[in-house]
């Protein structure tokens, strides 16, 4: 599913972000990526959908070698990976419905399919009755749910979330986590970078801890392991 072998990443400005990552994540797993700020979590995540290219080592996702992937094939890799950000990345002028539909328009789905799938995922995240709202008219938690809906609307095999609860209060965070668990129950692999001790310790999953560009801990049903 996701396989990394001896992956190194040094940025053009000389910053070493990752120095020898080995990891194997199976289809359907739910994995937290934890570690102090600047440890390399973001780089680790961005390697998956080729926002960043590794300097060394191999990365295989769904049996595709991401290293050798031609530039024009990258979009097709990304269609199998849904991404959720801390700051939601919604388009403010588009309605909830349009923001989610956008992900399908881009891959040129037919209007009928788009309508059906968008309503399905909005139902899943509990926003069916707010489809016509603009992002600004929603709470932070609701906006994050829209961005989750957008990430899963084309049924990706992997969902990557970078601090999805970073801007949310504990109560809302738990609601968002329940949605992620539901998505995971349907067989989608979930990778989540987080700083939330409470979430990691409440919803027990596999925990990968990264420090100074190396994996220092990899436990099933692990705990957060840092003072928050």
Query: Could you list the residues that contact another protein (CB under 8 A)?
Result: 49, 51, 72, 75-79, 83, 89, 91, 102-103, 105-108, 150, 154
Tell me which residue of 191, 156, 176 sits closest to 29, measured CA to CA.
191
Q: Minimum Å distance from CB 166 to another protein?
A: 18
Q: Which is nearer to another protein, 32 or 49 (CB)?
A: 49
**What is the distance between the alpha carbons of residues 131 and 99, in angstroms, rounded to a whole number?**
10
Q: How long a stretch of residues is the chain? A: 228
3-class secondary-structure state, position 33: strand
Q: Which is nearer to another protein, 91 or 216 (CB)?
A: 91
Cα-to-chain-centroid distance, residue 64: 18
Q: Which is nearer to another protein, 105 or 123 (CB)?
A: 105
Q: Minimum Å distance from CB 149 to another protein?
A: 12
Q: Minimum Å distance from CB 140 to another protein?
A: 18
- Residue 166's φ and ψ, nearest 5 degrees, are -60, -30
Q: Which is nearer to another protein, 151 or 210 (CB)?
A: 151
Q: Minimum Å distance from CB 103 to another protein?
A: 4
Q: Minimum Å distance from CB 66 to another protein?
A: 14
Q: DSSP letters along 88-143, please?
A: ----TTS-HHHHHHHHHHTTT--HHHHHHHHHHHHHHTT-GGGTT--GGGS-HHHH
Q: Which is nearer to another protein, 103 or 191 (CB)?
A: 103
Q: Which is nearer to another protein, 150 or 205 (CB)?
A: 150
Name every residue whose Cβ is closer than 8 Å to that of residue 92 and which is 6 or more positions away in sequence: 134, 135, 136
Q: Minimum Å distance from CB 13 to another protein?
A: 17
Token digits of residue 99? 């923001």
Tell me which residue of 66, 34, 15 sits closest to 217, measured CA to CA.
34
Asked if 224 contacts 200 with a C-beta cutoff of 8 angstroms, the reply is yes
């Amino acid at each position: 599913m996701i396989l990394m072998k001896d992956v190194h990443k040094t940025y053009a400005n000389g910053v070493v972000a990752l120095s020898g990552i080995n990891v194997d994540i199976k289809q359907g797993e739910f994995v937290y990526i934890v570690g102090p700020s600047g440890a390399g979590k973001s780089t680790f995540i961005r390697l998956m959908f080729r926002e960043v290219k590794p300097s060394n080592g191999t990365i295989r996702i769904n049996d595709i070698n991401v290293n050798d992937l031609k530039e024009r094939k990258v979009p097709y890799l990304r269609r199998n990976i849904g991404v959720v950000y801390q700051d939601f990345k919604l388009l403010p002028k588009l309605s909830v419905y349009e923001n989610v539909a956008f992900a399908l328009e881009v891959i040129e789905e037919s209007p009928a399919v788009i309508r059906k799938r968008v309503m399905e995922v909005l139902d899943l995240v509990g926003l069916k009755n707010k489809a016509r709202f603009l992002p600004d008219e929603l709470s932070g938690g609701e906006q994050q749910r829209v961005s989750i809906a957008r990430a899963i609307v084309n049924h990706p095999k992997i969902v990557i979330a970078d601090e999805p609860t970073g801007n949310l209060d504990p109560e809302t965070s738990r609601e968002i986590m329940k949605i992620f668990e539901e998505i995971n129950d349907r067989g989608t692999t979930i990778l989540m970078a987080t700083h939330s001790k409470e979430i990691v310790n409440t919803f027990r999953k596999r925990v990968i801890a990264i420090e100074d560009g190396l994996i220092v801990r990899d436990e099933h049903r692990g705990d957060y392991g840092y003072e928050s």
